[in-house]
Structure 1
Amino acid sequence: MPLLTPSTRIPAARIGAALAAVLLAVLLGPPSRGEAAPRPAPSADPGVVRWAVQPSGSGGPTGRNYFTYDLAPGDSVTDHVGVTNLGDRPLTFAVYGTDAYTTTDGAFALLPSDRAATDVGAWIGVDRRSWTVQPGKRADIPFRLTVPRNATPGDHTGGVIAAVAQDGVTADGQRVRLDQRIAARVYLRVAGEVRPAVTVESVRVDYDTPLNPIGRADLTVTYRIRNSGNVRVGGTGAVVVDGPAGWTLSRTSPVDLPELLPGAEFTVTERVTGVPPALRLTATVDLAPTTVDTALPPVQRTASVWALPWLLLAALAVTGAWLYLRRRRRSTAAAPPAGPSAASAGPGETSGTSGAETAGPSAAGEVAGGAAPRVR
């Protein structure tokens, strides 16, 4: 074995690095064959794209928040939607119209891309569907809205969409098609008879009666409202809780209702705290609906639930049963003992007076000539 001379000594830093490499190899173990080196998990995000959509004109944005029209059946209007590419590469947009609806949680939503529009979205026509916009540029795209002659009066709501479709890969390697959409809302009022109406379709009351008769518990009121008219409605709703004889126990603060499109429904759940078990509880749903034009008459509907303090009722029942049994014992003890009846006769005895005592002259004549009657 060769000796290490001063000129061939290994620096301490190199020795420490070698020992660290050996230790790391021991801890990690040898690499397995046939296994690729670890890679970052693939993402479904093919890249950040940013754009904006707004009502516009032929010369640029007009400052409107929405497209709002008042048209008669058979009318048409030409307008522009501004699509601005806020990214750093060209983007190709699909521009088209679609219908709106109210979701079950009260949000404004547009039909998914795989569902064809049948209302105002179908009345919007764009010259072509595909539009390419350069980075930092805006395209003011014209469209035409034509109201059919048989369109029903009232509100028709939708949107003008600018969508970007991109291919991506999920974390598990699945290829997906991403459809990212931004829209400008369209509110169309078709001339004719306007019939605003709100209906409370159902009210359900739940109450968890406390054991303590002077306790408090929460009362839950669930009610479903429907826009049964032909225009958009909103407003506020509150719940009033009454006890017997109209005694008001609690009242909630008014809550804002979402904007309901014609035909839409929405379910509201209100929790009223600290309600006493007042035998019979009545919840009244009090709506103050409004349209974009005016306030509507209030709408009310009630529902009731029993709130019986079971512990108190059980105590009253036990007390009543004890009083009843005690009274019955007293009445039984105060009754006189039953003796032999005067109308009953023993053996050899006759009822009433004896035969000798009741025999008159006629009786004596009947025994004349015979032996005299023996008197006992």
Structure 2
Amino acid sequence: MRTATHRAAVPLRRVLLLVVLAASASLIGPALPVVAAPELRDTATPPPSGTVTWTVQPASADGPDGRISLRHTLDPGETVEEHVALTNFSDREATFVVYAGDGVVGDSGDFDVPPGDGSRQDAGAWVDLGQPEGAERLDDGRLQLTLGPSSTVTIPVTVSVPADATPGDHPAGVVAELVGGGSEVRLAARVGTRLHLRVTGQIDAAVVADDVDARWEPSWNPFAPGTVRVRYVVRNAGDVRLGARSTVHLAGPGGVGSAEAVTEIREVLPDRSAVVETTLPAWPLVRADGGIDVTPLVVGEDVVDVALERTSSAITVWTPPWTQLGLVLVVLSVVVLVRWLRRRSARHVQAQVDAALAAAGVPREPSDVVP
């Protein structure tokens, strides 16, 4: 889970990001995901009225060209020139900070670029943004520019792959963040476009299940199955992005009570992982055996020219019938108690009979009651 202080990361969408700035100190969240980050100010200034709507999209030097993302396969040491277009659809002026960064996939499964804090380690560091007219270069290398109502600016983008870059996918993105506003609480909202960068060379493609943890939870109902909770990590052990279909399967001795659960993972980046949690019904047959099968999948328009092989990990879970044993103990206890009470009652009745006979002077005969 990401944490946010001054600025918070939110998933990038290839849709327009709508930000509503209310005319009060409170914020009314937009329909698309944004994150409000508190920022203290010395004086309270009423926020401007109106709506800010903007987008960042792939472009040529002449403007937006209809592509969904920037996609290139490059050799180590190769350079390519690109463009992105930043458009302010609003009816008022707005100021943006534009920067490039490494691509990640968050816990929600959405592609994201962390806030521009200068910590670019991979492909984000290979991207340089040109400085269009009217833009200001900040000390940390980001661009700041102000766009008038219903206006677009085209920003040159240069991607320079290092000569020692490793083969495979190196995700990145270009982000435009709305800044300013003058309110006591600033809304940190970002939208961007993705860069699919692949470096040529030997490609490996594999996903595996790691850190498997399976736990048995018996049912309180002795006539119902319990639950096995399985938590594991699907790790991309290759160097290209992949989706995955993971199947958890369990069965008792002799294959009795078999069950399975299937999970689809949209995207796992190279050397990254996704956490999966699932549950399966299981009868308390002392032990259940099975495994996790992970099948790699090609994502979107990607081309993966190597064999995609399924990997498997074994699972063993002890499923002792605690509830059923408890029920047996209760039944046995009730049977023992009933027999003891019956014998006690019989002894008490026999004692009263013997006392009455003794009082009447009748000789006492041997009793058939078992002591």
TM-score (norm 2): 0.67
- The answer on whether the counterparts of 1:159 and 1:183 sit within 8 Å (CA) in structure 2 is yes
- The answer on whether the counterparts of 1:237 and 1:286 sit within 8 Å (CA) in structure 2 is yes
Q: 1:309 to 1:298 in 2, by over 3 A?
A: same
Name the counterpart of 2:37. none
Name the counterpart of 1:126. 129
Name the counterpart of 1:142. 156
Shift of 1:276: 1.5
- The answer on whether the counterparts of 1:156 and 1:190 sit within 8 Å (CA) in structure 2 is yes
Q: 1:77 to 1:108 in 2, by over 3 A?
A: same
Determine the C-alpha separation between the residues in 1 that align with 2:104 and 2:238: 15
Name the counterpart of 1:90. 93
Shift of 1:180: 2.6
- The answer on whether the counterparts of 1:111 and 1:117 sit within 8 Å (CA) in structure 2 is no
Shift of 1:93: 2.5
Residue 42 of structure 1, aligned match among 8, 20, 25: 25
Residue 153 of structure 1, aligned match among 167, 179, 183: 167
Determine the C-alpha separation between the residues in 1 that align with 2:52 and 2:229: 45
How many residues are treated as equivalent by the alignment? Answer: 274
Determine the C-alpha separation between the residues in 2 that align with 1:241 and 1:189: 39
Q: Residue 233 in 1 paired to residue 242 in 2?
A: yes
Determine the C-alpha separation between the residues in 2 that align with 1:206 and 1:308: 12
- The answer on whether the counterparts of 2:208 and 2:312 sit within 8 Å (CA) in structure 1 is no
Determine the C-alpha separation between the residues in 2 that align with 1:43 and 1:199: 46
Name the counterpart of 1:307. 319
- The answer on whether the counterparts of 2:252 and 2:283 sit within 8 Å (CA) in structure 1 is no
SS state at 2:284 partner: coil
- The answer on whether the counterparts of 2:218 and 2:323 sit within 8 Å (CA) in structure 1 is no
Residue 188 of structure 1, aligned match among 197, 213, 218: 197
Name the counterpart of 1:206. 215
Which structure features the higher share of helix residues? 1
Taking CA–CA contacts closer than 8 Å with sequence separation of 6 or more, which of the two structures ends up with the larger relative contact order?
2
Instruction: For 1:148, give the aligned amino acid.
Output: P
SS state at 1:258 partner: strand
Shift of 1:312: 4.9
- The answer on whether the counterparts of 1:212 and 1:309 sit within 8 Å (CA) in structure 2 is no
Q: Residue 106 in 1 paired to residue 104 in 2?
A: no
Shift of 1:116: 2.5
Name the counterpart of 2:119. 116
- Partner deviation per Cα, 1:157-212 (whole Å, 9 max, x = no partner): 01011222114434xxxxx5544321100110001111112121121112222466
Q: Residue 80 in 1 paired to residue 83 in 2?
A: yes
Q: 1:168 to 1:181 in 2, by over 3 A?
A: same
Name the counterpart of 2:274. 266
- Structure 1 residue runs of 5 or longer lacking an equivalent are 1-39, 171-175, 320-376
- The answer on whether the counterparts of 2:257 and 2:283 sit within 8 Å (CA) in structure 1 is no
SS state at 1:88 partner: coil
Q: 1:92 to 1:209 in 2, by over 3 A?
A: closer
- Partner deviation per Cα, 1:110-147 (whole Å, 9 max, x = no partner): 11122421211111111222333221122222111111
Q: 1:211 to 1:143 in 2, by over 3 A?
A: closer
Shift of 1:105: 4.1
Q: 1:88 to 1:72 in 2, by over 3 A?
A: same
Identity %: 34
Instruction: For 1:293, give the aligned amino acid.
Output: V
Q: 206-215 or 302-311, which moves further after superposition?
A: 206-215
Name the counterpart of 1:284. 291
Name the counterpart of 1:293. 303
Q: 1:311 to 1:142 in 2, by over 3 A?
A: closer
- The answer on whether the counterparts of 2:229 and 2:277 sit within 8 Å (CA) in structure 1 is yes
Determine the C-alpha separation between the residues in 2 that align with 1:118 and 1:210: 49
- Partner deviation per Cα, 1:16-66 (whole Å, 9 max, x = no partner): xxxxxxxxxxxxxxxxxxxxxxxx952466553111111111222222111
SS state at 1:206 partner: strand
- The answer on whether the counterparts of 1:210 and 1:277 sit within 8 Å (CA) in structure 2 is no
Shift of 1:288: 1.2
- Partner deviation per Cα, 1:227-248 (whole Å, 9 max, x = no partner): 1221101121121111113445
Name the counterpart of 1:327. none
SS state at 1:169 partner: coil
Determine the C-alpha separation between the residues in 2 that align with 1:200 and 1:72: 31
- The answer on whether the counterparts of 1:207 and 1:218 sit within 8 Å (CA) in structure 2 is yes
Q: 243-252 or 59-68, which moves further after superposition?
A: 243-252
RMSD, aligned CA: 2.6
Shift of 1:98: 0.8
Residue 65 of structure 1, aligned match among 57, 60, 68: 68
Shift of 1:296: 1.6
Q: 1:248 to 1:313 in 2, by over 3 A?
A: closer
TM-score (norm 1): 0.66
Determine the C-alpha separation between the residues in 1 that align with 2:280 and 2:53: 45
- The answer on whether the counterparts of 1:211 and 1:310 sit within 8 Å (CA) in structure 2 is no
Determine the C-alpha separation between the residues in 1 that align with 2:163 and 2:294: 35
Determine the C-alpha separation between the residues in 2 that align with 1:281 and 1:46: 63
Shift of 1:80: 1.0
Instruction: For 2:284, give the aligned amino acid.
Output: P
SS state at 1:245 partner: helix
